[in-house]
Structure formats: structure tokens, C-alpha cells
Amino acid sequence: MMWQDTLISISNILFTFSIACQVNHGFKLRKGFITLPTSGITAIGLYAMTFGFFSLDLFYSTIVTGVNAGLWTVLFFQRLLFDNAK
């Protein structure tokens, strides 16, 4: 395992924890707090990074970044499906 994979994975785990709290908050209040451009562009960028990490054989980073991208996708759909936050 490369040290970069560990470093990137740990950083993304912290990001994933913070965004998971936001996803949970959105489901509790049934509101989409994050704007569509923010969540959509972030999700696309994270999916691109996931593919890049996979191509470099950084498997832990691939998994954690993929989870992070999935959570941003959930935020995107929360904004579409729930009443928008005022």
C-alpha cells in the first residue's frame, strides 16, 4: 500500500463523516439545503476522482471517495425531491 492511499483515505473519511451528518439532517427535516449546482458539480468531480484513484490502484481511496460521491448525489436528490429550504 502506498502512503498516499492512506493519507487520501483518512482525509476522505473525515469529509464523508461531515457530509453524512448533512445528509442525515436533510432526511430528518425533509429539506434540501444544498444548492443543485453545488451538490451536482461536487458529485461529478468526486466520481471523476474515484475513477482516477482506481486507475492508480489506490483502492482505499477509491472506495471512500466513491462513498463520498454517493452522499453528495443523495444531497442533490434531496434538493430535487424535498421542499427547498428557505
| Residue 68 pLDDT > 90 | yes
Q: How far apart are CA 18 and CA 4, in angstroms?
A: 22
Residue 61: in which H helix or E strand, if any? helix 59-81
pLDDT at res. 83 = 74
Under the banding of pLDDT at 50, 70 and 90, the label for residue 1 is low
The model's pTM = 0.91
pLDDT at res. 25 = 94
Q: Are 39 and 79 in contact (CB under 8 A)?
A: yes
Q: How far apart are CA 13 and CA 57, in angstroms?
A: 18
pLDDT at res. 2 = 87
Output the average pLDDT for the chain. Answer: 93
